């Protein structure tokens, strides 16, 4: 079993899309292993988006992700990372395949309703940031 971190971003939360988004993942056979709603701190956002530091969109990205509530969840399933990324679609909603979450609900490359881990290593790093071990001892590990 593989795990992926998903963030339902402030734009999706504001537009009442939490249930629709989680429902799509569950319809595809993925399992929600952990879930929480929170407003990310600046420190959490900086740690999460560390690989984008220095890029032109970095400050706007931090500002957006900390602008409202986010639903963070861990999805588990066979090939979860690849399956989630297919369901999400391309980062730019205008380039996302029809029927994907970003094509359906996204506005632009920043306001694209969801974030998902892009690799197993990134999933482990992101899960540790958003779900510290003390809070997720019940989450099944990969393997």
Distances (CA, A) of 132 to 15, 27, 119, 127: 28, 28, 19, 7
Catalytic residue check, 115: yes
15, 111, 115, 138: the active-site residue: 115
Burial 45-74 (b: 16+ CB within 10 A, else e): beebbeeeeeeeeeeebbebbbeeebbbbb
Residue 72: name the closest of 114, 105, 112, 120 by CA.
114
Residues designated as active site: 115
């Amino acid at each position: 079993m593989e795990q992926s971190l998903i963030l339902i971003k402030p734009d999706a939360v504001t537009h009442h899309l939490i249930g629709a988004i989680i429902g799509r993942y569950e319809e595809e056979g993925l399992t929600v292993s952990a879930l929480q709603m929170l407003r990310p701190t600046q420190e959490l956002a900086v740690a999460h988006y560390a690989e984008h530091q220095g890029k032109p969109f970095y400050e706007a990205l931090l500002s957006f992700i900390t602008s409202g509530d986010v639903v963070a969840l861990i999805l588990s399933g066979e090939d979860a990372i690849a399956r989630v990324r297919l369901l999400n679609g391309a980062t730019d909603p205008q380039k996302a395949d029809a029927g994907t979450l970003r094509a359906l609900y996204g506005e632009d490359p920043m306001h694209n309703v969801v974030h998902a881990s892009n690799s197993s290593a990134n999933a482990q790093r992101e899960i540790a940031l958003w779900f510290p071990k003390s809070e997720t001892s019940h989450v099944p590990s990969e393997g």
